[in-house]
């Protein structure tokens, strides 16, 4: 992992637990497996505890780590560092993606409830008007009662969003090609095709993984299907929306958006998205930040405890599912 990340990720309580569970040197944090220090550690390593910034665990790394049996990832996706060679070796892999999903889902639920309440638009109007006004007469359709929310992707985040939205008086739709109707019902949603979801939803929230098949899944045609006044929420990846098609819809005011991710990740300084009153733009902060990072380190410690006790991981990453996950 990035050396500067470690003190942000691992608090004193979790560090004590990790060192108590295994022969672990807390001062040994590497982001390069080719150094002599890393090579000496790999020679005896049975478990790697990884996070953001871990270099690929390729054939050369595995050759230097003959005793390696497991990778415990204190972050989300493992695709950046767990290579095909790891699966061929038969390594056990676990990820704290479930823990990172929690703050993303919380951010999303807040965005959805604010979107239906038209908070951005009303705040901008109030800032301009600065006087008493008949807000009810001006905005008779705002509110969350019986509004329709479309969730794109039954990922860990998408499922948590559905769970958190269940207590509200909302109509919940779900699009996911891998979900059957019975499972969607258990999640509290009605399964629909993506076009239908776009037509019916007051808010469309995107939680699908970034794959070649999901690039621009929300394209110009599907944006045009969305009703006037609808809001697009994206906490997944910027590539899932055709941003060139989205910008004109936002500039016109027909649609609104809450965007924690964009393409590119940092927009050019002259992008209109920075200044539009109907757009909430945040710098990819929906995931774990600050104290939320400690949850992922604690999750890694839990999995290490299971490994040392001879138990299977609670949150294994399975090779047969890796092709359809983030």
User: Over 80: is that where the pLDDT of 234 sits?
Assistant: yes
Q: Are 225 and 201 in contact (CB under 8 A)?
A: no
pLDDT digits (tens, 9 = 90+) for 92-137: 999 999 999 999 999 999 999 999 999 988 998 999 999 999 999 9
Confidence at residue 8, expressed as pLDDT on a 0 to 100 scale: 87
pLDDT average, residue stretch 226-248? 97
pLDDT average, residue stretch 210-215? 93
pLDDT digits (tens, 9 = 90+) for 276-300: 999 999 999 999 999 999 999 999 9
Confidence at residue 322, expressed as pLDDT on a 0 to 100 scale: 78
The per-residue pLDDT of the chain, averaged, comes to: 94
Alpha-carbon span 290 to 191, nearest angstrom: 35
Nearest to 177 by CA among 231, 213, 224, 220: 213
**Two tokens at 227?**
């009703």
Burial of 171 (0-12, 13-18, 19+ CB in 10 A): middle
pLDDT average, residue stretch 193-220? 96
pTM above threshold 0.75: yes
pLDDT average, residue stretch 298-318? 95
Phi, psi of 299 (to 5 degrees): -65, -40
Confidence at residue 326, expressed as pLDDT on a 0 to 100 scale: 66
Confidence at residue 115, expressed as pLDDT on a 0 to 100 scale: 97
User: Over 90: is that where the pLDDT of 27 sits?
Assistant: no
pLDDT digits (tens, 9 = 90+) for 157-195: 999 999 999 999 999 999 999 999 999 999 999 999 999
pLDDT digits (tens, 9 = 90+) for 220-229: 999 999 999 9
pLDDT over 90 for what percent of the chain? 86
Higher pLDDT, 210 or 18: 210
User: Over 80: is that where the pLDDT of 320 sits?
Assistant: yes
pLDDT over 70 for what percent of the chain? 100
User: Over 70: is that where the pLDDT of 254 sits?
Assistant: yes
Tell me the CA end-to-end span of the chain in Å, nearest whole number: 19
Element (H, E) at 265: none
Contacts of 287 (CB under 8 A, 6+ apart): 76, 100, 103, 104
pLDDT digits (tens, 9 = 90+) for 73-92: 999 999 999 999 999 999 99
Q: Catalytic amino acids?
A: 237, 265, 284
User: Over 90: is that where the pLDDT of 3 sits?
Assistant: no
Alpha-carbon span 114 to 257, nearest angstrom: 11
């Amino acid at each position: 992992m990035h050396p500067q990340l470690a003190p942000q990720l691992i608090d004193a309580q979790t560090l004590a637990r990790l060192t108590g569970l295994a022969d672990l040197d807390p001062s040994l944090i590497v982001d390069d497996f080719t150094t002599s220090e890393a090579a000496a550690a790999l020679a005896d390593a049975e478990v790697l505890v990884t996070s953001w910034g871990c270099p690929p665990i390729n054939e050369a790394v595995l050759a230097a780590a003959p005793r390696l049996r497991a990778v415990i990832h204190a972050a989300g996706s493992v695709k950046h560092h767990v290579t095909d060679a790891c699966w061929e070796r038969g390594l056990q892999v676990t990820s704290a993606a479930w823990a990172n999903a929690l703050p993303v889902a919380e951010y999303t639920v807040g965005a959805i409830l604010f979107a239906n309440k038209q908070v951005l638009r009303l705040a901008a109007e109030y800032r301009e008007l600065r006087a008493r006004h008949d807000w009810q007469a001006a905005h008779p359709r705002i509110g969350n009662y019986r509004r329709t929310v479309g969730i794109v992707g039954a990922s860990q985040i998408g499922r948590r969003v559905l769970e958190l939205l269940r207590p509200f008086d909302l109509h919940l739709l779900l699009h996911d090609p891998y979900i059957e109707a019975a499972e969607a019902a258990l999640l509290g949603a009605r399964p629909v095709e993506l076009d239908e979801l776009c037509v019916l939803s007051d808010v469309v929230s995107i939680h699908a993984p970034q794959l070649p098949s999901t690039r621009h899944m929300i394209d110009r045609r599907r944006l045009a299907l969305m009703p006037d006044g609808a809001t697009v929420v994206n906490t997944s990846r910027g590539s899932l929306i055709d941003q060139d098609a989205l910008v004109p819809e936002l500039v016109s005011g027909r649609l609104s958006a809450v965007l924690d991710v964009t393409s590119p990740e940092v927009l050019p300084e002259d992008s209109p998205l920075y200044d539009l009153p109907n757009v909430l733009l945040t710098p990819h902060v929906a995931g774990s930040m600050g104290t939320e990072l400690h949850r992922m380190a604690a999750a890694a410690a839990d999995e290490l405890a299971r490994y040392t006790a001879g138990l299977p991981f609670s949150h294994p990453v399975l090779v047969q599912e890796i092709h359809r996950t983030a």
